[in-house]
Structure 1
Amino acid sequence: MSQSPPASVLPGSAPDAAGVPFDGSFTALLDAGRAASLALASAPTQVKNQALRGVAVALRENVAEIVAANALDLAAGARNGLTAGLLDRLSLDDARIRSLADAVDEIEALTDPVGQVVRGSSLANGVKISQVRVPFGVVGVIYEARPNVTVDIAALALKSGNAAVLRGGSAAENSNRVLVALIQGALVAAGLPGESVQTIDPFGRAGATALMQARGQVDVLIPRGSAGLIQAVVSESTVPVIETGAGVVHIFLDASANEQWSADIVHNAKVQRPSVCNAVETVLVHEQAASRVLPGVLAKLAGAGVTIHGDAAVRALYPAAVPATDEDWATEYMSLDVSVAVVADLDAAIAHIRRYSTGHTESIITNDIVNAERFLNEVDSAAVMVNASTRFTDGGEFGFGAEVGISTQKLHARGPMGLPELTSTKWIVRGTGQIRV
């Protein structure tokens, strides 16, 4: 039996300003999602792929409608004081919508994980045992101002045989309403339940609270967004949570770091899209390389409008930097800001990362293979890199088509989550009358 939601969100109670009353429709929505998940779990791959093709076509054929709905959200966001980073995440234009459609095509082309045999064996008496991948069932996702997530999650959930219940937030409500309607149309056209993908945005914040308490109706909950949102879901949910963490991401410029690589990689990791979780937030530099490497790195960042928050050693080399505070080292800016510190050596860099990292992504720029291997082995994050931009920690870049999120926990999934991470396993045992003796 599912656990009842708190009194504030029980049927008939007053919703928040953005929501609608709970008149039983919320429970009905979750029940419909459960029923849809049963149909999806046994749906043939070709039927799921047909639905995915329909989603991609619907996105490409309805760009104008999606952009118009998104414009309403962007205008409301600007009025409500959303930061530049959140507005960037919220924005959908022609190129981004077509990129979403391309990602759906990529997911369609991927191998269906459902039914894959993970391992197996045969007992001496002839009993055959196998462990196979199965869908979770109903996946709930809570996220902020990211309508692209609506498409990514829906496509990945569909291919992996899961129903999705989405809370995309009031900031993207117009965009998400149009996107979910298009997705549901493609599902129905393929002969699958439209309730395989649903939004609870009309229920407002109370809906998000009820979703977190829907243990037994929702199998797993995945939050994507700010550190505050993620922590709230982890703390308040009775549904099992896969934590996608905030990104206090580091790059360490080692003593042997190549100057051009350092400038190019740090610039790319900070500037290409500063509002995302794999953007670098702290740059550490070996004291032996500081005077050689930092001027070029910081000049290129400053030329792109980045504010440098530096420690005393950095400011001595680059007086335009603002003084870094203790809070800066633990801050996920999601903006054109970066913290920079000079450290004594690799040990000091690793110690700093251990103290302040959120376990997302770290990179070292070095020509020293011993230091590179030490960094890879001793830094405990979901993705650890050598001589590469942290922006590569991404499901699309890793070949997943898209991603559910980037998990920073260690149980079940870690790093970018694609199709296999949306499955569990069960054991299949086949016998011919054997009994245990």
Structure 2
Amino acid sequence: MLNEAVDGTFTQARNTGTEALRERIAAELLAARERTTGLTGVDDHDLTAQHSPLMSPLVWDLAHIGNQEELWLLRNVGGRDPMHPEIDPLYDAFEHPRAERPKLPLLPPAEARAYAHEVRGRALDLLAATPLDGPAPLLRDGFAFGLIVQHEQQHDETMLITHQLRQGPAVLTAPEPPDTRTGPLPAEVLIPAGPFTMGTDTEPWALDNERPSHQLELAAFRLDTTPVSNAAYQRFIDDGGYDDPRWWAEAGWAHRQQAGLTAPLFWRREGGQWLRRRFGVTEPVPADEPVLHVSWYEADAYARWAGRRLPTEAEWEKAARFDPATGRSRRYPWGDQDPTPELANLGQRHLRPAPVGSYPAGESPYGVRQLMGDVWEWTASDFRPYPGFRAWPYEEYSEVFFGPEYKVLRGGCFAAAPVASRGTFRNWDYPIRRQIFSGFRTARDAEQD
């Protein structure tokens, strides 16, 4: 009788955990779709126009979200037949470059909305009927559903980039981020030498490039307490930083000349003042915000001009995750609990970064602030696999991008959803990219003291 009672207790606990996971997945799916709906709530012209050759039309992103959800959930998990197999090639991100997508016979807006809506309804029905505690790897901890939630939120961020590139009056609004600064901060902090665990084996929805966890030994280094601000970056501009090849990598200098770079994207000088365009509004560049829309080459040039360097990806992760009091790597700078509005600027709650030095409750054990949210931070590192990497559940997610062509960004930004932001999450892009919500902070070797 005792064994039966114990088994019954374990079964009840397991069932309770499964139902809580099911409810969380449903909530995440609904939250992502609410955001998608808001970002695609423009007229048909805006929805089908290509606002930049760097980006897809918004209507492509909308149907692509539905197509990937159908592929992974309805077909792979549910074993259903394709709903519209003829559209699969149209929404294969590897088959058609973004610049060519407006020429494709895409689903028109009403049909794209109907398709995404129908897929979502079927996916929610599948979620209600699918065991999430079985041996199938795609279903363990609800991974397939977590993959789709993250995919949709990442495309929501991509669509927000499209809104920033879009010409015309503002169509998006959001409250201003809170100013939670607490007074003067040290310019930099010391991260002592020693080992730490990078990557993860335990984060249930971590993507393949975040795995596996592995031990690294790092030398001591010093890291900026906050991201580099607009005011600091203006000093680089005013000192002729864009005109002096000493500060630029050879490829960066060639690109600066070819592209005619003179300031961050969306900045312009007018009447002795720097202005910027932000989601359809022209405003003075705020001195105390993290600099935004700079390429890796620009970030690297600034760091050289300042007598510093960009941190490596490993240095960034140690500063963000390692707790010297316990010797373990945490999920986030502040601990293991999920992000809240008091801890980080994530999830498009605001349409701009908070002032540098904000979010004291979210700082790391070393006292570094804003490592999560506000701006993606360029690192010095190429996008490479971790030791023991295994592509899963498909090679095209990460493996085809490994190499020196891409640089790693860390930490999320104000547009990144909490579900796709964690201390191990890795983003990557070409070093010339500026339309993304990218900033940076700098580092230096501690032995320079």
Relative to the length of structure 1, the TM-score reads 0.26
TM-score under structure 2 length normalisation: 0.26
Larger helix fraction of residues: 1
